[in-house]
């Protein structure tokens, strides 16, 4: 498989705008793409997105929309107005919701990503949540990615472990964003399905979210440089 260089996205998992400024200062120059998730968006709202876009930073709005089709469609339209590049919806919201989201985004630059199975869930936790005795994350990720593609969603969110399964189920053209990225030797924390940046590159991720391994490091700038080097070179020997 050809090694591609995934696009790195820095997770701004901080409580407020002051935290954003402090983190960006510690990371130094070169941060081009960031994730705004539930914590930050709940605290600061659209203003933080406007501020980031005004600084020329690309934004992935990770709100994991999961509601009735009409509500999700209107939320997608609002995200388009914010000029964000990526937006997440939950694949488990169902076909009608996914189609409504896709229709709302049609003709705009916004790319929708369908969240398949959260990387905090292992097979046992997923079986408990789904109410089924025998279930694997890989099977469910593949099934939900195929559903999303059939409904017009151009991308999926999955751990690196399921990336080959997504490609088999939804095709090489399906964009894949991989969270749960950890530098070698770092603790997994509350994540169950993790991988290194090199593994993400080797398996062909389009985007990777760089979170605590970088942002909580003693030297975030050095950790970011290490992660980007891995993304660019893939595993040792490539």
Q: How many helices (H) and strands (E) does the chain have?
A: 11, 8
Residue of 4, 35, 64, 149 marked catalytic: 64
In this prediction the pTM is 0.90
Q: How confident is the model at residue 234, as a pLDDT?
A: 53
Beta strands in the chain (DSSP E): 7-11, 33-36, 58-65, 86-90, 111-115, 155-157, 175-178, 207-210
Task: Give CA separation, 24 vs 8, 50, 53, 183, 215, in Å.
Answer: 14, 16, 14, 20, 9
Q: How confident is the model at residue 235, as a pLDDT?
A: 45
Give φ, ψ of 148 to 5 degrees.
Answer: -60, -45
Q: Per residue of the chain (238 residues), what is the pLDDT tens digit? A: 455 689 999 999 999 999 999 999 999 887 999 999 999 999 999 999 999 999 999 999 999 999 999 999 999 999 999 999 999 999 999 999 999 999 999 999 999 999 998 878 777 887 788 777 778 888 999 999 999 999 999 999 999 989 999 999 999 999 999 998 888 655 555 555 668 899 999 999 999 999 988 999 999 999 999 999 989 875 443 4
First to last CA, the chain: 11
**CATH code where residue 120 lies:** 3.20.20.70
210 HSE (CA, 13 A, CB side): 32
Q: How confident is the model at residue 1, as a pLDDT?
A: 45
Residue 42, domain extent:
7-233
Q: How confident is the model at residue 121, as a pLDDT?
A: 76
Task: Examine residue 2 and state whether it is found in any structural domain, yes or no.
Answer: no
Q: How confident is the model at residue 132, as a pLDDT?
A: 77
Angle between helix 69-81 and 95-105 (nearest 10): 30
Q: How many domains does the chain have?
A: 1
Task: Examine residue 1 and state whether it is found in any structural domain, yes or no.
Answer: no
The Cα 97–Cα 68 span in angstroms is: 6
Task: Examine residue 238 and state whether it is found in any structural domain, yes or no.
Answer: no
Sign, Cα dihedral of 151, 156, 161, 167:
positive
**Block residue for tokens 């975030």:** 220
Q: How confident is the model at residue 193, as a pLDDT?
A: 62
Task: Examine residue 84 and state whether it is found in any structural domain, yes or no.
Answer: yes
Q: How confident is the model at residue 238, as a pLDDT?
A: 43
35 is catalytic: no
Q: What angle do CA 34, 26, 51 make, to 5 degrees?
A: 40
């Amino acid at each position: 498989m050809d090694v591609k260089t995934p696009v790195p996205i820095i997770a701004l998992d901080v409580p407020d705008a002051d935290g954003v400024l402090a983190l960006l200062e510690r990371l130094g120059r070169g941060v081009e793409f960031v994730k705004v998730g539930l914590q930050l968006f709940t605290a600061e709202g659209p203003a933080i997105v406007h501020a980031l876009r005004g600084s020329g930073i690309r934004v992935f709005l990770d709100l994991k929309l999961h509601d009735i089709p009409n509500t999700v469609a209107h939320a997608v339209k609002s995200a388009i107005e914010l000029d964000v590049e990526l937006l997440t919806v939950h694949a488990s919201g169902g076909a009608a919701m996914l189609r409504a989201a896709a229709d709302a985004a049609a003709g705009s630059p916004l790319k929708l990503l369908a969240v398949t199975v959260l990387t905090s869930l292992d097979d046992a936790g997923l079986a408990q949540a789904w109410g089924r005795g025998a279930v694997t994350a890989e099977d469910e990720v593949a099934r939900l990615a195929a559903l999303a593609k059939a409904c017009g969603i151009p991308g999926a969110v999955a751990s690196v472990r399921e990336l080959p399964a997504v490609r088999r189920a939804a095709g090489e053209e399906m964009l894949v964003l991989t969270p749960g990225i950890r530098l070698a030797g770092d603790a997994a924390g509350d994540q169950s399905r993790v991988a290194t940046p090199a593994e993400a590159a080797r398996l062909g991720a389009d985007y990777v979210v760089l979170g605590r391994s970088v942002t909580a490091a003693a030297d975030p700038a050095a950790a970011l440089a290490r992660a980007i080097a891995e993304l660019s070179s893939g595993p040792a020997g490539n």
